[in-house]
Amino acid sequence: MDEAQRSHVDVLIVGAGISGIGAGYHLQTQCPEKSFVILEGLESFGGTWLVHKYPGIRSDSDLYTFGYRFKPWTGAPIATAAEILTYMEEVIDENDLDQHIRYQHWINTASWSSEDQRWTVTSVRKDTGEQVSMTANFLWMCQGYYKHKEGYTPDWDGFDDYKGQVIHPQVWPEDVDLGGKRVLVIGSGATAATVVPAIAGDCEHVTVLQRSPTYFMPARNENELADRLRKLEVDEKWIHEIVRKEILFNQEEFTRQAIEEPERVKGELIGAVKALLPDGYDVEKHFTPSYRPWQQRLAFVPDGDIFQGITAGKASMVTDQIDRFTPKGVRLKSGDSVEADIIITATGFDLCVLGDIDFTVDGKAVDFADTVTYRGMMFTGVPNMVWIFGYFRASWTLRVDLIGDFVCRLLKHMDAKGVRSVTPELLPEDVSMPLSGWIDPDNFNPNYLKRSMDKMPKRGDRPEWQHTQDYWQEKTDIPAVELDDPVFNYQS
Ligand SMILES: Cc1cc2nc3c(=O)[nH]c(=O)nc-3n(C[C@H](O)[C@H](O)[C@H](O)COP(=O)(O)OP(=O)(O)OC[C@H]3O[C@@H](n4cnc5c(N)ncnc54)[C@H](O)[C@@H]3O)c2cc1C
């Protein structure tokens, strides 16, 4: 059948970002008999890498592990959004995935019927306004974890009084002219670390205002092992595999050290930053975070570029809190003020649970906060659905490949059993386990998660009922999941 005509599919994948394209690849390769469609709200593929267009936009993970395990990465480890989009385009072309993708379809409802044992998904076409309805046996949710339409802006006093231009990096305007302007960047996370070096040369001056310092990890944007293997003319597939293994080994070691010896790791990270700043710079005030390394994502800084701007006097740091906005800039709690022609609010994004889609199961609305997650990918009481939510401390995409294998194994298992649905359910011994928020804040606590934890599914006190964020454990545990475990309730 012509893929574009189907109104029913075995698997409906939501989103054509790195997760959805990976899901399509795994499904096509491992379950070639399954029909599938990828519905995407935007006009093209890429998700995060299509949406974000701010100057300098790049990955903060290496592409050997942010890339899929099945498609070698051949460039420098840290990649621009454009390079990531090219890589994804090659995956789509090489595997003929385009025929399965329908763009400009914003999904707004998904309803499960136990009688029909299938989902009905409705979407609105952005180009025509038409309502489109489709049915699917299985939903594979690859819609990311934040609202794609706009970023998060705190509710600041006097915000409307400010007379200059305000830009959120998530919706960067095409025609912005920074030439000779005084720019204030609010926030010091990965986005600020990217934007500041990219714009500092154009502006009169860039001030970075942060409430509290962030950890930065300066390093050269190169991988010595990959370069050496390339010199030896080793096959790119081998290089990809070997370099992935080396990076993952080093990251596991670093994560263990960050947890077991946080003070030593903190000292090393701050020492590396200090070495790139002028003598006498107040590193204690501006670059010494109060949290442990890895409790929030580390901001990778290729070639220490943000520190070059500070050293050259083109950029400066202010560590303080906003009291209120004024017509010319911001007044700070310390009593100081910063004046600016343009303010860039690098204040992050708004978490969004499952694409803001209204889910129902047999006519009853699903509140995901009332569900418990099975390994951070399925939810109690929600049949035939898997969500890809990647890792924070390791590359997101590692989980795309792991869950890809899991879903394909599960679908084959269901066919072999002759069943049509699977729903994870708490076992009698699990029913009274203590429940808490999606992620343990002592383990990982970025602000966007803290702000919206109440909307997310709950976690239990044992690994199968948690998104542990531990790739190194999950790479053994997920392939070993016993699919006839009573936690899986199958129905014919
Ligand atoms: C600026 C930035 C940089 C990042 N850098 C890294 C990094 O270096 N390494 C790393 O591991 N992680 C990084 N992340 C996290 C990043 O989001 C993930 O790594 C990854 O790109 C997410 O891929 P995804 O396909 O799951 O989701 P997304 O990239 O968010 O794509 C989801 C897609 O689903 C579509 N969609 C959503 N809802 C609907 C709906 N209701 N109907 C139809 N379509 C819908 C969206 O339009 C989008 O195209 C970064 C995040 C940001 C914001």
CATH number at residue 165: 3.50.50.60
Ligand 1: lining residues by beta carbon, under 6 Å: 14-20, 39-42, 47-48, 52, 59-61, 66, 105-107, 142-144, 148, 355, 357, 388, 390, 395-396
CA 22 to ligand 1: nearest atom:
25
For residues 59 and 66, the answer to whether their CB atoms sit within 8 Å is yes
Atom 33 (ligand 1) nearest CA? 15
CA 17 to ligand 1: nearest atom:
25
Task: Give the pLDDT confidence score for residue 305 in this predicted structure.
Answer: 83
Distance CA 339, CA 133 (A): 51
Q: Give the mean pLDDT of 227-253.
A: 97
CA 51 to ligand 1: nearest atom:
49
Distance 45 CA to ligand 1 centre (A): 11
Does residue 93 sit in the same domain as residue 209?
no
Tell me the per-residue pLDDT of 465-480, one tens digit each, with 9 for 90 and over. 999 889 999 999 999 9
Does residue 269 sit in the same domain as residue 372?
no
Distance 204 CA to ligand 1 centre (A): 33
Tell me the per-residue pLDDT of 402-441, one tens digit each, with 9 for 90 and over. 999 999 999 999 999 999 999 999 999 999 999 999 888 7
For residues 419 and 411, the answer to whether their CB atoms sit within 8 Å is no
Atom 22 (ligand 1) nearest CA? 144
Q: Is residue 248 part of a domain?
A: no
Does residue 299 sit in the same domain as residue 401?
no
Q: Is residue 319 part of a domain?
A: yes
Distance 17 CA to ligand 1 centre (A): 6
Distance 143 CA to ligand 1 centre (A): 7
CA 357 to ligand 1: nearest atom:
41
Single out the residue in 287, 322, 345 at which a domain terminates: 345
Does residue 318 sit in the same domain as residue 429?
no
Q: Is residue 136 part of a domain?
A: yes
Atom 2 (ligand 1) nearest CA? 48
Q: Is residue 154 part of a domain?
A: no
Q: Is residue 202 part of a domain?
A: yes
Q: Is residue 409 part of a domain?
A: yes
Does residue 369 sit in the same domain as residue 447?
yes
Distance CA 222, CA 228 (A): 11
Q: Which of 25, 143, 351, 401 to mutate to test the pocket of ligand 1 (most atoms within 8 A of CB)?
A: 143
CA 61 to ligand 1: nearest atom:
8
Atom 9 (ligand 1) nearest CA? 61
Does residue 326 sit in the same domain as residue 371?
no
Q: Is residue 80 part of a domain?
A: yes
pLDDT band at 303 (very low <50, low <70, confident <90, very high): confident
Residue type, 197: P
Does residue 371 sit in the same domain as residue 421?
yes
| Cα 388–chain centre separation | 10
Does residue 176 sit in the same domain as residue 318?
yes
Is the predicted pLDDT of residue 227 greater than 70, yes or no? yes
With CA atoms as reference, report the closest residue to 46 among 96, 6, 103.
103
Single out the residue in 329, 345, 361 at which a domain terminates: 345
Q: Is residue 153 part of a domain?
A: no
CA 48 to ligand 1: nearest atom:
29
Does residue 169 sit in the same domain as residue 129?
no
Tell me the per-residue pLDDT of 117-171, one tens digit each, with 9 for 90 and over. 999 999 999 999 999 999 999 999 999 998 888 889 999 999 999 999 999 999 9
For residues 325 and 156, the answer to whether their CB atoms sit within 8 Å is yes
Single out the residue in 345, 376, 407 at which a domain terminates: 345
CA 194 to ligand 1: nearest atom:
1
Task: Give the pLDDT confidence score for residue 1 in this predicted structure.
Answer: 65
Instruction: Give me the domain span that covers residue 16.
Output: 3-148+350-491
Distance 169 CA to ligand 1 centre (A): 15
Task: Give the pLDDT confidence score for residue 441 in this predicted structure.
Answer: 75
CA 143 to ligand 1: nearest atom:
34
3-class secondary structure per residue, the chain: CCHHHCCEEEEEEECCCHHHHHHHHHHHHHCCCCCEEEECCCCCCCCHHHHCCCCCCECCCCHHHHCCCCCCCCCCCCCEHHHHHHHHHHHHHHCCCHHHEECCEEEEEEEEECCCCEEEEEEEECCCCCEEEEEEEEEEECCCCECCCCCCCCCCCCHHHCCCEEECHHHCCCCCCCCCCEEEEECCCHHHHHHHHHHHCCCCEEEEEECCCCCEEEECCCCHHHHHHHHCCCCHHHHHHHHHHHHHHHHHHHHHHHHHCHHHHHHHHHHHHHCCCCCCCCHHHHCCCCCCCCCCCCEEEECCHHHHHHHCCCEEEEECCEEEEECCEEEECCCCEEECCEEEECCCCCECCHHHCEEEECCEECCHHHCEEECCCEECCCCCEEECCCCCCCCCHHHHHHHHHHHHHHHHHHHHHCCCEEEECCCCCCCCCCCECCCCCCCCCCHHHHHHHHHCCEECCCHHHCCCCCHHHHHHHCCCCCCCCCCEEEEC
- Domain tally for the chain? 2
Does residue 281 sit in the same domain as residue 375?
no
Distance CA 407, CA 140 (A): 9
Residue with tokens 């009481």, as numbered in its chain: 381
Mean of all residue pLDDT scores within the chain: 94
Does residue 281 sit in the same domain as residue 418?
no
Q: Burial of 284 by CB count in 10 Å (0-12 exposed, 13-18 middle, 19+ buried)?
A: exposed
Distance 152 CA to ligand 1 centre (A): 15
Q: Residues 428, 432, 435, CA angle at the centre, nearest 5°?
A: 125
Does residue 194 sit in the same domain as residue 316?
yes
Distance 50 CA to ligand 1 centre (A): 9
Distance 146 CA to ligand 1 centre (A): 8
